[in-house]
Amino acid sequence: MKTLYFITSNKGKVREATEKLRTLGFSVVQKDLGYPEVQADSLEEVAQQGIEHVRAKFHQAFMLEDAGLFIDALQGFPGVYSKYVFFTIGLPGILRLLQGVENRKAVFRSVYAYSEPGKKPVIVTGECKGMISNEQRGEHGFGYDPLFIPKGAEKTFGEMTIEEKNQFSHRAKALEKLITELNTLS
């Protein structure tokens, strides 16, 4: 098994990545080093800044991930500010912002970044289109999962098991791209 350090404080992200990477011979080890999530125009910029910060103090191969929920009716809000918005107004706040709004289309985007000492970082993206439910549903997952219904499903991510979620998930799609890149680097 190859060890892959995942720079995150989010145990939910670690569970999802571990589930996906275990079958491919990777052992995921959570490393909560923290990095500033700069206010930027794109998730890729946030990931790039994160790589630079972590590289300065951690000299092994690692990955990090940043994601955002982009809601059509709110012109892409909360987007790159998803974490801040989640901890500020939470799911009830998002539902209040969408009260009476018919267009509930949204997209979850994820960016995985992989870094090895002395090599150019690899940055990949994934997305999952769907809609925001009218109420919180489900106890699984984390973050916005109880509000997001992926296209082609009737359940929210919060009502799905990790295996079910990984069939749709923006993170799973980005992680699959990262795995392809890792296999070409080996």
**Catalytic positions:** 66
Whether 126 and 173 have beta carbons less than 8 Å apart is answered as yes
C-alpha 85/C-alpha 64 separation (Å) is: 20
C-alpha 42/C-alpha 102 separation (Å) is: 27
C-alpha 28/C-alpha 7 separation (Å) is: 10
HSE toward the beta carbon, residue 49, CA cutoff 13 A: 14
Whether 67 and 109 have beta carbons less than 8 Å apart is answered as yes
3-state SS assignment for residue 95: helix
3-state SS assignment for residue 66: strand
